[in-house]
Amino acid sequence: MEPTPTEPIGPPGARESPRYRIHHVARLTGVHPSTLRAWERRYGLIQPQRTPAGHRLYSEVEIARVRTVARLATEGIPYGHIAEILEREGLPAAGMAATVGADLVLALRERTESAARGFDGGGLESAYTQSLGTFCFEDTFERVFLPVLAALGDRWHAGEDIVAEEHFLSAFIHRKLQTHVNSLPATTGRFRVVCASAPGEEHELGLLFLALKLVGRGVPVVYLGRCTPAPSLMRAAFARGVGAVCLSTTLRAPAGDLSEIKELVQRLRSRPDAPAVLVGGQGSVALNGNGIGVAAVFGTDAEAGLAHALSLAGAV
């Protein structure tokens, strides 16, 4: 099995390491491996990096480029013209996400929200494909889909009956997350992270952000989502390869009563092969200094939770 590099192989300034083999890219994009090779050799449309053994490795940026080429080819544009379009627009070059105009981001968000409000799965798919033609996997969600999901949640808090629309978009994001997880190179015994909301916890935006970031960095995630019953969480936590459990709780315990979450953590930590436990969300801050064996309490700072999880996975 060929190794996945831990340092960038690509040109200076590339935003992340190539790590996807050609058959994984074919599954992600629907483009046959022979076509990918032709686009590389005959037309120079894509430029995967190579391992020392000569195997192709594609980055998130290169995968986004493949999707753009596929879309333009489907529209009947000749490959020679596609090359000119890519060169003229620099799409999607390394660092593209940081320079995309606010108007485009806003337009993508509006398309996404409109599709969610209309329960239009095809519209969501179209917005997702267009976003991936501009951004990498992580930025597609961080800059487009998660802000829309958060906005729908804010409208619900303001009294608007928008629960169905929020759940519709959330389910779409879950599917894309799982598809991406399944496309990661398989490695026996690979470190996996379970992401789950505590029992009774309905909110999962912060948890989704963390899971999507982990997957974008190549860390396999077992995503359980909202209101995970304790017995189910225990089974997942001790599955093969699981090295960490990230719990999310936005619920504030009444009168400092942390018994339920403390009991759950203690159960998770009760065996010699116990995974590390990280707890985040507004309800987690009261756990600081309680000595219940958590590896980290990061409150609402999802980036801190990400850093801890990546460190445990050896992915930093």
Whether residue 174 is found in the same domain as residue 197? no
C-alpha atoms less than 13 angstroms from C-alpha of 79 in its C-beta half-sphere: 12
Whether residue 174 is found in the same domain as residue 191? no
Q: Of 92, 113, 138, which residue constitutes the final position of a domain?
A: 92
Q: Is 268 left (phi over 0), alpha (psi -120 to 50) or beta?
A: alpha
Whether residue 304 is found in the same domain as residue 193? yes
- Per 3-state DSSP, the chain is made up of helix, strand and coil in percentages (nearest 5) of 55, 10, 35
Residue 309 to residue 152: CA distance in whole angstroms? 28
Higher pLDDT, 276 or 291: 276
Cβ atoms of 195 and 249 closer than 8 Å: no
CA-nearest of 259, 267, 312 to 290 is 259
| 158 located within any domain | yes
Whether residue 228 is found in the same domain as residue 142? no
Residues 213-242 have a mean pLDDT of 86
How many domains does one find in the chain? 3
Mean pLDDT, the chain, integer: 77
Q: What letter represents residue 19's amino acid?
A: R
Whether residue 230 is found in the same domain as residue 283? yes
Higher pLDDT, 169 or 75: 169
Report pLDDT for 100: 52
The whole-model pTM stands at 0.57
Structural domain boundaries, residue 143: 100-179
Residue 80 has pLDDT above 80, yes or no: no
Whether residue 59 is found in the same domain as residue 109? no
Q: Of 61, 92, 123, which residue constitutes the final position of a domain?
A: 92
| 3 located within any domain | no
| 13 located within any domain | no
pLDDT band at 74 (very low <50, low <70, confident <90, very high): confident
Whether residue 27 is found in the same domain as residue 109? no
